Amino acid sequence: MESIKKEKLVADIRVAGVATGSILVLHSSMKSIGWVDGGPNTLIDAFLEVLGSEGTLLVPTFTYGEKHRNKPFEPETSESVTGLLTETFRKRPDAVRSVCPVHSVAAIGKHAHELTRDHLYNTTLGRYSPFHMATERGGLIMLVGCDHNSNSTIHVAESLAEVPFNYVPTPTKPSGRMLIRQKDGKVKEIQLTEFTGCSNVFARAEKPLRQAGVIRDGKVGKASVQLMKGMDVLKVLVQILQKNPDWLLCDNPECEFCPVRKEFMGNYRPSPGH
């Protein structure tokens, strides 16, 4: 099998529409790209070369699920559950990782510190989270070999649309209390203000986004990619979610989140003036 070189990746990323100096949120499937010479670090290096010294690359380094349940989040050591590239990315010496017990984000580049530093004091994937701030600064989103089920900015849209169920706890998050191990070794308890939920039907978002003309298709290696402006994504989806808050709730009766949220929406009555 012929390997894909960094030079090929750089060329593909540029042709796909990523410009020097951009802020880019990357969601990716390494295996979809093909055999990359040098592995995930080569792909990361290719993106950073395209973005240049004025650009910034962000990836999800989430720590939800059984593996991390009931354990304090440790920014320096907690493993990312969102793929090989993100785990490789967070370990790089030039990477900055936000402090968030479930939805941390790692970034490299000019705005890395600015976009990640206050995550603990804001929503996990909502207003003022790193992905929201990236969109506010004109950031792009690229999906490499994956669909919109991996597009975490859709959770930002749910938050901005103020879907009522974002504040509904679940059996595994009954209180929203989470633990973080600080640099001095002490464990701190924090309170989540929103409960980010299921993304199993976020692929539904692709149709209205395409109808709005905000998706640019391309290729990186063997992988199909979608590139879009984060703000365009939010404009399209917030409008839909304000009219249909439960549009992105799945139908799986075993889902941890959606049956509880559907039941809540069935009994929900907006307050006067809402």
39: left (phi over 0), alpha (psi -120 to 50) or beta: left
Q: Kindly state whether residue 29 falls inside one of the protein's structural domains.
A: yes
Residue type, 62: F
Query: Number of structural domains, the chain?
Result: 1
Q: Cβ of 229: how many Cβ atoms within 10 Å?
A: 17
For residue 266, what pLDDT is reported?
83
For residues 245 and 261, give the distance between their C-alpha atoms in angstroms, rounded to a whole number: 10
Which tokens is 14 given?
């540029």
pTM of the model: 0.94
Report yes or no on 272 lying in a domain. Answer: no
**Structural domain harbouring 16:** 6-267
Q: Does residue 273 lie in a domain region? A: no
Which residue, chain included where needed, has tokens 């980010």? 196
Give, as one character, the DSSP assignment of residue 51: H
C-alpha closest to that of 245 among 157, 144, 178, 151: 157
One digit per residue, pLDDT tens: the chain, 274 residues? 689 999 999 999 999 999 999 999 999 999 999 999 999 999 999 999 999 999 999 999 999 866 667 789 999 999 999 999 999 999 999 999 999 989 999 999 999 999 999 998 888 999 999 999 999 999 999 999 999 999 999 999 999 999 999 888 776 665 677 888 888 888 888 888 788 889 999 999 999 999 999 999 999 999 999 999 999 999 999 999 999 999 999 999 999 899 999 999 887 656 544 4
* Residue 27 within a domain: yes
Q: For residues 134 and 143, what is the distance between their CA atoms, to the nearest angstrom?
A: 15
